[in-house]
Amino acid sequence: MTSSLKTRGGDGIGALIGSKIFIVGAGSGMGEAIARMAVERGAKVSLAGRSIEKLEQVAASLGDSVLGLYALDLADEHTVDSAIAEHAPYDHIITTAANLTFKPFVELTDDEIHRMLDSKFWGPINVARAAAKHLAPQGSVLFFSGLAAYRQGVGTSLVGVVNMALESLVANLAIELKPKRFNVISPGVVDTATWDMLSDADRQALFQQVSASLPVGRVGHADDLAHAAISILENGFINGTVLNVDGGGRIA
């Protein structure tokens, strides 16, 4: 019996060749790793983030594969829209951007709360608004949430709130803006600049503690998340989904 299934053009290995990807948070960490991996697979990328200097350093190593560099205030809808519009239509838009503060709830200042909401609530909303206009019909948007949406603890109240909000948002956008795809990756503890607010000793102590608690026995690396992101971009049948890339953090 012959199978009636056919592979969709553009899905799978080689699907990113010639594609255009807009990446927010590309100056370091997971965003930078995604940019490098996408370029290795034949994509052109635009790099966005808070620091133009960091973006320039990343761009210098990616050469002609970089379409543009953008220092963005994600809370500014016009700025986000203008940046994404310049080389539109894009095949994929990704934001890993996060400006998080890990503090007990009663100690959080209004400024700290606003920064978290700007980067991981208003930012994705403005990216989605731009995607409605500047994303290819079969394109995709990928947001990053995090383990704090499920594993509550001292200092993670607002971090968990913004992470869970993203997961609800993509489920609705996948329906309202179809056939465009919307997905979320939820990382666990990953060795990136997110933890730069800690001293080296405290950072290593945290990573050792987390590693001992996880089934995989280690914290995540930026490339772990980049591989997961690329797989979602390349697979046109993943939609409205949360992919947990946390080393088993949800079950530990």
Residue 205 has pLDDT above 50, yes or no: yes
Report the 10 Å Cβ neighbour count for 81. Answer: 17
Q: Is position 171 within any domain?
A: yes
Q: How many residues does the chain have?
A: 252
Q: Is position 14 within any domain?
A: no
Q: Is position 189 within any domain?
A: yes
Residue 51 has pLDDT above 70, yes or no: yes
**Mean pLDDT score across all residues of the chain:** 92
List the single range of 11-15, 118-122, 151-155, 176-180 with lowest mean pLDDT: 11-15
Give residue-wise pLDDT tens across range 76-116.
Answer: 999 999 999 999 999 999 999 999 999 999 999 999 999 99
HSE-CB for 90 with a 13 A CA cutoff: 31
Q: Is position 54 within any domain?
A: yes
- Residue 249 amino acid letter: G
Q: What angle do CA 221, 225, 215 make, to 5 degrees?
A: 65
Average pLDDT value for residue range 218-245: 97
Q: Is position 141 within any domain?
A: yes
| pTM listed for this prediction | 0.92
Helical spans, DSSP H, in the chain: 29-40, 52-62, 77-86, 110-117, 123-134, 157-176, 200-213, 222-234
Average pLDDT value for residue range 158-162: 93
Q: In terms of residue numbers, what domain contains 60?
A: 20-245
Residue 129 has pLDDT above 50, yes or no: yes
Average pLDDT value for residue range 1-7: 34
The confidence band for 192, taking pLDDT boundaries of 50, 70 and 90, is: confident
Q: Is position 2 within any domain?
A: no
The confidence band for 230, taking pLDDT boundaries of 50, 70 and 90, is: very high
pLDDT score for 138: 95
The confidence band for 61, taking pLDDT boundaries of 50, 70 and 90, is: very high
Percent of the chain with pLDDT strictly greater than 90? 81
Give residue-wise pLDDT tens across range 173-184.
Answer: 999 999 999 999
The confidence band for 1, taking pLDDT boundaries of 50, 70 and 90, is: very low
List the single range of 39-48, 78-87, 152-161 with lowest mean pLDDT: 152-161
What would the two tokens of residue 232 be?
């979602």
Residue 3 has pLDDT above 70, yes or no: no
Q: What is the CATH number of the domain that holds 206?
A: 3.40.50.720
Q: Determine if the peptide bond prior to 104 is cis (ω within 30°).
A: no
Q: Is position 104 within any domain?
A: yes
Q: Are the CB atoms for 93 and 66 separated by under 8 Å?
A: no
Domain count for the chain: 1
Question: If residue 248 lies in a helix (H) or strand (E), which one and from where to where?
Answer: none
The confidence band for 197, taking pLDDT boundaries of 50, 70 and 90, is: confident
What would the two tokens of residue 142 be?
């990928």
Q: Is position 252 within any domain?
A: no
Four-point Cα dihedral 96, 99, 104, 109, nearest 10:
-150
Residues 94, 182: Cα–Cα separation, whole Å: 10
